[in-house]
Chain A
Amino acid sequence: MTVGAPDLGAPRIGVVGADLPRQLVLAAGATPVRILGSWSGPVSDEAAQLPGAVDAVAARILDALLRGAHDDLAGLVVCNDSTAHLRVFYVLRILAERGRVRYPVHLLDAPRGGGAPRDRFVARQYQRLAAFCTSLTGAAPDAAGLRDAAERELRLGEALQRLRRRRRSGRCSGPTALAAYRAAATLPPGEAVAIVDAADHPARGRPVFVTGSAHPDETAYEAIETVGLTVVGEDHDTGDSAWIGDAVAADDLEAATRLLAGRHAGRAPLAARSLTAERIAHLERGLDASGATGVIALVRELDDAPAWDAAAQRRLVEGRGMPFQARVRVRPGDIAGAAHETATALAQALGRGEHA
């Protein structure tokens, strides 16, 4: 195994959303840093009002950006992977013009669906992304840079595979796994590998799967696990469905962007931009892989897409003889209680063997 390029001192490029092909950022000599937000904490009136009615987690991301909490960034990429994130971009675009944001802001618009027209569009978007990164770092992704980035990213992907295997064999709790994913999404790959591999300790609860909104922090998972459950998998983008650890073998940017666009089309379907049928198929794969015995869906208020999936998810899960507990329109301040109540109901159903 070769040693990757040193991360120390690499410019940090912030990322809002889950659509980033990390290899391109790494190949341009930068570290991608996902900005995740949180379930709790105050939101300023400005951040609450400017984007309109949005998921509170996105409002907290905007709030942090406007407060200067990420002013060390060299630039920011905002993904059009949800209405909330797109609105954050529109707000930042205007405020950046007014001098309120200290770094350049770039939109990454990668429609889902696959097929030649969409793949071509996404590949062009990736070329724009690479140009943006190069404008910040001065380093264009060349053959050596793409190879090195691929190697670093794939090693992180292997570590995440090991993490998933540990979760399924009772050697990693859900909160610990989420924290490891956060490290993978925010740190240089080399540092992240060490943290991901250190996430190894017994977890003895009944294995359950989490769907619904993404979890920017461990609040809900901790509440779920207090009732004797362990979260062994999820289908949201801050856990198993994060696009981390994937890379392509390409010697030039044009080939890399074309191949990455194809990978994007085959990624895990995330609630906001995928069909319910795609989500159901993905959930089924997740249940097969994880060995979960029940499913919890927690959907934040104003994050409506997962709420539209819930009825079909219930049919799938209960059709497999497993219990499904859902809570929609969860207010951010209520998450710990909502997660605890939902998990308690699931644990009781599992205890009664209602669906065994």
Chain B
Amino acid sequence: MSERLAAAVAATRYQKDWFARMAARARAGEQIAIVNADVPHEILRALEIPYVVTQWWSSIIAAKQVGPAAMERVAARGLPDFSLQYDAMPLGEQELPEHMRPWGGLPAPAFAIAERSGDVTQKIFEQWGERPGTETFLLSRTAADPVPPRWWELVSHEWETAFGSDRLDLLQDEIEELTSWLEDRTGRRLDRGRLAEIMRLGNEHAEWNRRTRDLVAAARPTPVSVNDTMPAVMVPQWHRGTQWAVDAARALHDEVAERVARGHAVCPAERRRLMWIGRGLWSDLAMYQRFQEEFGAVFVWSMYLAIAADGYRRYGEDPVRTLAARFVGITDQLYVPPWSSDWYLAEALSHDVDGVVHLVADDTPGGVFITEALEAAGIPVLEIRANNADARSTGAARIPERIADFLRTRVPARS
């Protein structure tokens, strides 16, 4: 077993402490928010409203092995337990008995904020608004049109071209609506200078992630495990816009650089380099290291560091419009072909992977085009259809067994 990344350990510890402090304050009456990953958190940060990200909280619920129990509570209310579990699971967590709730449970939020993504997210967040003391705000979700080539080279500065002004106008206006909605309910006023500083810190944070990603892409053998980079990247992501997050991203970079300098290998007998496309397998993170000994196969890439490197940097004069540019296409970048397929291929090539495991969830489109682009470049792909957070689904998909078979039959070892 490779040594744990100190940045991952520190981030995980920080997040647990942060949650405990936040929960205590919430239980003492402070207003908190539950928000989806693809809403402009920076407004909450600027208004000093603590927030918990749905997907992160689902990952904790899943990691604590209470995901199925949470979904049973969703079903007990007559709601589907088969639909968008990654968003719905925290609703069920609210209903669990105290002893089952991870970290003491998420205190009742005052605000639930999401984009109207897909067909169901809005209805899940509407359910939050049915709970006493919680109100829901929904942003629109527009479609990925136009489609710029090589978006990752364009979006940090030329985002107006990348996303189109109409989409940006709408989200900018809606961010203003959200701001007024929160101001009315908290009695606070948005300091736009403070927001600009938060945006600056977010860019500085993302620049460190870009350097880290580039280090990992170039390093042979790979110096860090994806199950370490996932928390080391994602915990700071939920604190984006703070000095702590910048420092955490820099610490991750420095640690990776130090490992590269001393030739540290996650898998000293590295013979196969793998890419994991899709959301993290939170209920079984150990799975990512399960193939190192037998196959010399190491996961060198997950979307978490990569999107942190390419997805968030936005430079502009007006902080609200720039914030709109950060979020208007965040889903497109990851999931909409050809935005997604072009990017995954570029990442696969830059990381020199030998094979790809592609976890395709029901709510992610375009999987075939991603697989097609990679296979056309000579990179074998194993597609697995399952929900990452729902252990019932991942168990049924027999993921470890299928990856082992994939490695045996389709991914030759490097000499």
Contact = CB atoms under 8 A, between A and B. Distances in A.
Contacts of B116: 111-113, 273
B295 interface: no
B365 A51 contact: yes
Q: Classify chain B: how many residues form its interface, as a range.
A: 35 or more
A86 B142 CA distance: 10
Contacts of A118: 140, 170
- Size bracket of the A interface: 35 or more
B78 interface: yes
B364 interface: yes
B360 A52 contact: yes
A80 B143 contact: yes
Given A82-B119, A277-B126, A304 B83 contact: yes
Contact of B142 (A121, A272, A311): A121
| Interface of chain A: mostly helix, strand, loop or mixed | helix
Contact of B120 (A277, A304, A328): A304
A305 B366 contact: no
Interface in A112-126: 112-113, 115-118, 120-121, 124-125
B166 A124 contact: yes
A50 interface: yes
A86 B126 contact: no
Given A90-B336, A118-B170, A109 B145 contact: yes
Given A53-B385, A107-B143, A120 B363 contact: no
Interface string A106-146: 01010111011110110011000000000000000000000
Contacts of A308: 79-80, 83, 120, 123-124
Contacts of A304: 80, 82-84, 119-120
A94 B337 contact: yes
A274 to B, nearest CB: 8
Interface string B149-172: 000000000000000001101100
Nearest to B364: A52
Interface of B is mostly: loop
Contacts of A124: 166
Interface in A70-123: 80, 82-83, 86-87, 89-90, 93-94, 107, 109, 111-113, 115-118, 120-121
Given A89-B143, A121-B170, A275 B366 contact: no
A86 B363 CA distance: 12
B365 A87 contact: yes
B17 interface: no
A314 interface: yes
Given A52-B362, A273-B116, 19 more contacts: A87-B366, A90-B144, A90-B336, A90-B337, A94-B337, A107-B143, A107-B145, A111-B141, A111-B142, A115-B177, A117-B174, A120-B170, A275-B123, A277-B126, A305-B119, A308-B79, A308-B80, A308-B120, A311-B78
B367 interface: yes
A335 B401 CA distance: 36
